[in-house]
Each structure stands twice: as structure tokens, then as C-alpha cells.
């Protein structure tokens, strides 16, 4: 199968836009709810959204017994561990810093993908990856960000999310050989709900009431559940199926670019010349990474 399909590139790009915006939506929701409740509710919204999509498209598939362990482990990595790390990290650092750390996923994914899946990167793609990482560093080292302060606990949580995402990506690639993206994400999110259920009961905020859920909160929860937890993951899974995990993960370098732009418009974060320069370098790196990319057969 050819992997230069423009529509798949568009889907990968859309998933990064939705994830870039998710840091803004999450910051709003965290004014009302804690991370555990936030993720739990967005997973429920996502599950209903994807089940409705499956009903409309009639693309149901029966999960084979031999794949149960992969779904259980992959769901533990993402959404469970990933969202715990991302959500608690986002509470402690700015959306831009969070997005920058999450965008390091492509640094580690190709190495693991080469070991486990035998996916290969050509020299130009490695150069592109290095260029995009340079752009990310320029963004994160911007003085306007440094003045905001950084929580090392937040950074540790976020790198924990990165580790979970890399492991999940490897298992995700294996599942794409057998199931369509909507079935995969629906199943993982439903399993994730049960992972989070005990945390909601024992560590959740017991002071939540119906008065908490005003229109502002509900809208941002719906945006998170429908776009960030549903469509973004389905689109990304499709790109993993077509491109391979190493190539698809390179798009993650665009997340801090979108987050910085959205933070400027919605959270009044500064958008300096240095940050804009970093964004352009990141985009250049992704273009180089995508140029003439070929993956070996698994």
C-alpha cells in the first residue's frame, strides 16, 4: 500500500491540531474539576461518540480472544497512565511547556519502533527530526516562558506520559493490522473508563455537584471528549496504520506549535519572535521528516 496519501497527512495534521487545542480546553476544565474526574468524563463522552459513529458506519468488529491482553495492556498505557501523567503535569506547568514535552515522543518512538517493529528512518528523515527538536528547544527556551516558572514534578508527570505513549504506540501498530481505528480507540477508551472508575470513587473530588456543570465547563468537556479523545485518536491511529508508528509520531512535533498559537489567542500567553522562529523550524523539520519516507515491511 502506498503511504503518500494526502488525506492521511491531513488526518495526522488534524489530530495534532485537536491535541494542541486540548491543552487549552483542559486548562479551562481544571478550573472546575480535578484531573481524574476530567479524564473520566471525557472518556465517557468519547465512548458514546465512537459507539454512535460505529453504529452509523456499521463498521463493528469482534475482538479476538488472543488480542485481549494487547488491548488490556495498551489501554493501561493509554488512556490510563498517559492521561494521568498529562493531566497532572498540565496542572503544574503551562500548556506550551506541556505540549513541548509531549512532543518529545518522536525522539524515543523511532528507536523503540526500530527495535520492536523493524521500522527504519532514512538519513534525511533523521535530519528532519533533529531540526524539529531544535525548533522545540527554541520554543521552550523562550524567555517569556522561563519567567512563568517550571514545576519539576509537573515535568516528571509529563515525561511519564511520554513513556506511556511510546509503549502504547508500539502496541497500537500491532492492533492496526487486525482492526479499524474506530474499533481500537472505542475499545481502549471503554477499558480506560474501568481503569479510572476506582480512582474516581477513592481519590476524586467529593464536592462536585450539578451546580458545577455550567455551560462553559460542559462545552469544554464536549470538545475534549469528541475532538481530543475521539477524533484525534482515530485520525492518528489511521496515520499509524498507513505510515507506521515512527513516521506518524513525527507529527507530534507540531503540537507545541499549535498550542503556542492557541495559548496566545485564548490564554494570553506571549508569542515572541523567538517562539515564532522555533515554530517555523519545527514545521521545516516535519516537512524534511516526511520527505521520501519509506518504512520496511513488518
- The residue among 24, 3, 7 whose CA lies nearest residue 255 is 24
d(CA 67, CA 54): 20
Q: What span, in angstroms and rounded, lies between the C-alpha atoms of 158 and 131? A: 22
Q: What is the pLDDT of residue 192?
A: 96
Which region holds residue 118: left if phi is over 0, alpha if psi is between -120 and 50, else beta? left
- Cβ neighbors of 65 (< 8 A, separation 6 or more) are none
108-165 pLDDT per residue, tens: 777 677 777 666 666 776 777 788 778 777 866 665 554 444 577 888 898 899 899 9
In tens, the pLDDT along 49-92 reads 999 999 999 889 999 999 999 999 999 999 999 999 988 888 88
pLDDT at 94 over 60: yes
Q: Which residues of 15-28 are buried (b: 16+ CB within 10 A; e: fewer)?
A: bbbbbbbbbbbbbb
pTM of the prediction? 0.79
Half-sphere exposure of 188 (CA within 13 A, CB side): 31
Amino acid at each position: 500500500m502506498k503511504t503518500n496519501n494526502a488525506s492521511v497527512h491531513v488526518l495526522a495534521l488534524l489530530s495534532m491540531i485537536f491535541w494542541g487545542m486540548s491543552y487549552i480546553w483542559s486548562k479551562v476544565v481544571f478550573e472546575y474539576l480535578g484531573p481524574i474526574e476530567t479524564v473520566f468524563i471525557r472518556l465517557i463522552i468519547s465512548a458514546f461518540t465512537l459507539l454512535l459513529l460505529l453504529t452509523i458506519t456499521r463498521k463493528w468488529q469482534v475482538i479476538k480472544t488472543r488480542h485481549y491482553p494487547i488491548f488490556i495492556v495498551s489501554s493501561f498505557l493509554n488512556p490510563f497512565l498517559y492521561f494521568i501523567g498529562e493531566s497532572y503535569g498540565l496542572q503544574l506547568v503551562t500548556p506550551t511547556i506541556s505540549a513541548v514535552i509531549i512532543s518529545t515522543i518522536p525522539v524515543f518512538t523511532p528507536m523503540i519502533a526500530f527495535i520492536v517493529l523493524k521500522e527504519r528512518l532514512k538519513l534525511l528523515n533523521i535530519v528532519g527530526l533533529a531540526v524539529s527538536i531544535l525548533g522545540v528547544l527554541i520554543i521552550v527556551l523562550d524567555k517569556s516562558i522561563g519567567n512563568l516558572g517550571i514545576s519539576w514534578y509537573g515535568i516528571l508527570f509529563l515525561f511519564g506520559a511520554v513513556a506511556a505513549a511510546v509503549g502504547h504506540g508500539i502496541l497500537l501498530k500491532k492492533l492496526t493490522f487486525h482492526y479499524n481505528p474506530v474499533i481500537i480507540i472505542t475499545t481502549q477508551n471503554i477499558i480506560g473508563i474501568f481503569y479510572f472508575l476506582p480512582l474516581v470513587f477513592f481519590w476524586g473530588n467529593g464536592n462536585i455537584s450539578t451546580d458545577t456543570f455550567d455551560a462553559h465547563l460542559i462545552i469544554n468537556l464536549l470538545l475534549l471528549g469528541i475532538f481530543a479523545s475521539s477524533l484525534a485518536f482515530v485520525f492518528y491511529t489511521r496515520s499509524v496504520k498507513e505510515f507506521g508508528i515512527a513516521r506518524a509520531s513525527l507529527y507530534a512535533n507540531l503540537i507545541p506549535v499549535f498550542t503556542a498559537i492557541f495559548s496566545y489567542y485564548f490564554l494570553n500567553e506571549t508569542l515572541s519572535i523567538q517562539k515564532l522562529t522555533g515554530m517555523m523550524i519545527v514545521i521545516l523539520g516535519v516537512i524534511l521528516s516526511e520527505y521520501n519516507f519509506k518504512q520496511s515491511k513488518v
